[in-house]
């Protein structure tokens, strides 16, 4: 098939950018979206144009590296699918496709479609862990975890940190990301000791970054490639209120 792409090109951080048009003929429906970009990049190189920079690594939908807004939707039109797992058979011959980087003040553009998501790491560093030194752990089966809790914790822990939630949110909020980790650890018995401290510190860090705040549009949930639900956000709110209003800290 033949496609017309409009891709955001930006030479470096803080530099001006613009959408640039590329005609991409001979696209195979079996290609992944990123392979289509690979092919375009090879052709650009032949013409002496610098290839389009985009983040990607595992190309199996699990590392969370890739991320671009495709036709107005983070990761493109297919539900619960990362851009690397999106295949061209979901497009039609003659389609125009708009490709843009994540847009958020907290995710500044580095180049073309590559953005800086280190704010996510700082949120985890603020408290997204259970404090246990290697060697200090008790026998694994000492603490039983109800199967349902383990499953629910897993659902939240499945987050790949891609940032689609922030990209989709009209407010550029990172609540789904933060809440997913708070929910994961808050559901495990091992995570109870630090539960209040964790939520207060992680939320504070989240708000120190340039993220917006939740207005319950549910866009994040709809585009999350791992299907993480906004019930996690309710849980974060509850834990936060408990900690701030009735907690010790």
Partner 1 sequence: MWIVDFFRSALGKKAVMAVTGVVLFGFVLGHMIGNLKLYQGPEKLNGYAAALREVGAPFLAHGEALWIARLVLLAAVVLHILAAWQLTLINRRARPVAYVKQVSVASTYASRTMRWGGVIILFFVVYHLLHLTFGSVHPDFRAEDVYRNVVVGFQNPVVSLFYMLAQLALGLHLYHGLWSFFQSLGMSGPRLDVLRRRFAVLFALVITAGNLSFPLAVLSGMVS
Partner 2 sequence: MVLDARIPSGPIEKKWDRARFELKLVSPANKRRFNVIIVGTGLAGASAAATLAELGYNVKTFCFQDSPRRAHSIAAQGGINAAKNYRNDGDSIFRLFYDTVKGGDFRSREANVYRLAQVSVEIIDQCVAQGVPFAREYGGLLDNRSFGGAQVSRTFYARGQTGQQLLLGAYQAMARQVEAGKVQVFPRTEMLDLVVVDGRARGVVVRDLVSGEVSSHAGDAVVLATGGYGNAYYLSTNAKGSNVTAAWRAHRRGACFANPCFTQIHPTCIPVTGHYQSKLTLMSESLRNDGRIWVPKTKGDKRPPNEIPEEERDYYLERRYPSFGNLVPRDVASRNAKAVCDEGRGVGPTGLGVYLDFADAIARLGRETIAERYGNLFEMYEKITGEDPYRVPMRIYPAVHYTMGGLWVDYNLMTTIPGLYAIGECNFSDHGANRLGASALMQGLADGYFILPYTIGDYLAQHLGERVTTDHPAFAQVESEVRERYHKLLNASGKRSVDSFHRELGLLLWDHCGMERSQKSLETALAKIPELRQEYHDNVKVLGSAESLNQSLEKAGRVADFFELAELMCIDALERRESCGAHFRIESQTPEGEAKRDDERYSYVAAWQRKEDGDGWTAHKEPLEFEYVQLTQRSYK
Per CB under 8 A, does 23 bind partner 2?
Answer: no
Site for partner 2 in 80-109 (CB under 8 A): 81, 85, 87, 89
The DSSP bridge partners found for residue 6 are 21, 98
User: What is the C-alpha to C-alpha distance for residues 72 and 86, in angstroms, rounded to an integer?
Assistant: 15
Max Cα-Cα span within the chain: 64
Per CB under 8 A, does 54 bind partner 1?
Answer: no
Per CB under 8 A, does 218 bind partner 1?
Answer: yes
For the chain, first and last CA: distance in Å?
60
Minimum distance from CB of 20 to partner 2 (Å)? 16
Per CB under 8 A, does 224 bind partner 1?
Answer: no
User: What is the C-alpha to C-alpha distance for residues 27 and 43, in angstroms, rounded to an integer?
Assistant: 12
Contact with partner 1 (CB under 8 A): which of 58, 132, 143, 234? 234
User: For residue 245, how many other CB atoms are within 10 A of its CB?
Assistant: 7
Partner from partner 2, partner 1, none binding residue 235, C-beta < 5-8 Å depending on class:
partner 1
Contact 40, 5 (CB under 8 A): yes
Region from 45-53, 59-67, 123-131, 233-241 binding partner 1, contact rule CB under 8 A:
233-241
Site for partner 2 in 163-192 (CB under 8 A): 184-185, 188, 190-191
Counting residues that bind partner 1 (by CB under 8 A) gives 47
Minimum distance from CB of 72 to partner 2 (Å)? 21
Per CB under 8 A, does 14 bind partner 2?
Answer: no
Minimum distance from CB of 114 to partner 1 (Å)? 15
Site for partner 1 in 126-185 (CB under 8 A): 168, 170-173
Per CB under 8 A, does 22 bind partner 2?
Answer: no
- Using the Cα atoms of residue 187, residue 165, residue 159 and residue 181 in order, give the sign of their dihedral: negative
Site for partner 2 in 125-164 (CB under 8 A): 125-141, 143-147, 150-151, 153-154, 157-158, 160-161
Q: Which spans of this chain sit near partner 1 (rule: CB under 8 A)?
A: 6, 8, 19, 69, 71-73, 98, 100, 103-106, 168, 170-173, 203-204, 207, 210-219, 221-223, 230-231, 233-241, 244-245
């Amino acid at each position: 098939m033949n496609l017309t792409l409009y891709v955001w090109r930006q030479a470096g951080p803080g530099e001006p950018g613009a959408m640039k048009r590329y005609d991409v003929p001979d696209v195979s429906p079996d290609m992944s979206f990123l392979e289509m970009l690979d092919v375009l990049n090879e052709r650009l190189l032949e013409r002496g144009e610098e290839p389009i920079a985009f983040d990607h690594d595992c190309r199996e939908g699990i590392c969370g590296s890739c991320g671009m807004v495709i036709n107005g939707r983070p990761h493109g039109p297919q539900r619960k699918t990362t851009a690397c797992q999106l295949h061209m058979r979901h497009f039609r011959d003659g389609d125009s496709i708009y490709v843009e980087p994540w847009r958020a003040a907290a995710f500044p553009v580095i180049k073309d479609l590559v953005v800086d998501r280190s704010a996510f790491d700082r949120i985890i560093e603020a408290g997204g862990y259970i404090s246990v030194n290697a060697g200090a752990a008790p026998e694994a089966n000492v603490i039983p975890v109800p199967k349902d809790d383990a499953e629910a914790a897993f659902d939240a822990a499945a987050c790949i940190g891609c940032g689609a939630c922030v990209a989709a949110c009209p407010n550029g909020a990172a609540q789904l990301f933060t809440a997913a980790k708070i929910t994961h650890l808050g559901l495990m018995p091992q995570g109870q000791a630090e539960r209040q401290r964790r939520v207060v510190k992680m939320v504070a860090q989240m708000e120190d970054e340039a993220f917006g705040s939740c207005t319950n549009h549910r866009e994040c949930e709809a585009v999350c490639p791992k299907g993480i639900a906004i019930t996690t956000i309710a849980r974060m709110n509850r834990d936060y209120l408990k900690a701030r209003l009735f907690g010790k800290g």
